[in-house]
Each structure stands twice: as structure tokens, then as C-alpha cells.
Amino acid sequence: GEDWISLDMHGKRPKAVNVRTAPHPAFPTDMQAQFTLLNLVAEGTGFITETVFENRFMHVPELSRMGAHAEIESNTVICHGVEKLSGAQVMATDLRASA
């Protein structure tokens, strides 16, 4: 449509992407956690670099409990996509990442 899109990903995985946060109008830091999760179930390896705030990857170790494969190096998380994540008990440490 003119102001919406529809995706049919049934039976498919997205491709991993590289994202670098920055102040408006660039990629918003508040969307970093969602794209980290997307990369963790995508095909391939993606890099999420956080340039706005420090310590914004508190959710990554919790996602590892669910089967995610990620490494944090300084202000970048390296996401190695897995086919699926599993339910696990996790702790919500950040409002944006926990939503």
C-alpha cells in the first residue's frame, strides 16, 4: 500500500544485516534491541554497533539462554543467526530491550 507493507516470511528466514545507531535522522538506538533479535534468527552473521549509549547490550546474555549465538565486542554485538530460539527464564534489565 501507500503507507504500509506486508511480508510473507512463512518458512523462510530473513538475511542478517549490519546496523549502526546514531542520532536522528539515522538508525534509532531504541530499535537496536529489536534488530539484534532479528539478526539472531536470521541467515548469516550481522553486526549491530551502538554509537549513542554505553552498555546497551544487557539483553544479549539473556537471549543466549534462549539459544542465541552472539558475542559482544566493545560497542558492537556480533549476531550469528540460528534457526530458532527456545523459551527460557530470562531477566528483563532494560525497558527498551525487554519490551
User: Where do the domains of the chain lie?
Assistant: 19-98
CA separation for the pair 21, 18 (Å, rounded): 10
CB 85 within 8 A of CB 68: yes
Q: How far is CA 23 from CA 20, 52, 79, in A?
A: 10, 7, 23
- Other beta carbons within 10 angstroms of residue 66's beta carbon come to 16
Q: How far, rounded to the nearest angstrom, does the alpha carbon of residue 35 sit from its chain's CA centroid?
A: 3
What mean pLDDT is predicted for residues 37-52?
Answer: 98
CATH label, 19-98, candidates 2.60.40.10, 3.40.50.300, 3.65.10.10, 3.40.640.10: 3.65.10.10
Q: Residue 94: is its pLDDT beyond 90?
A: no
Q: What is the pLDDT of residue 19?
A: 97
Tens of pLDDT, residues 49-84: 999 999 999 999 999 999 999 999 999 999 999 999
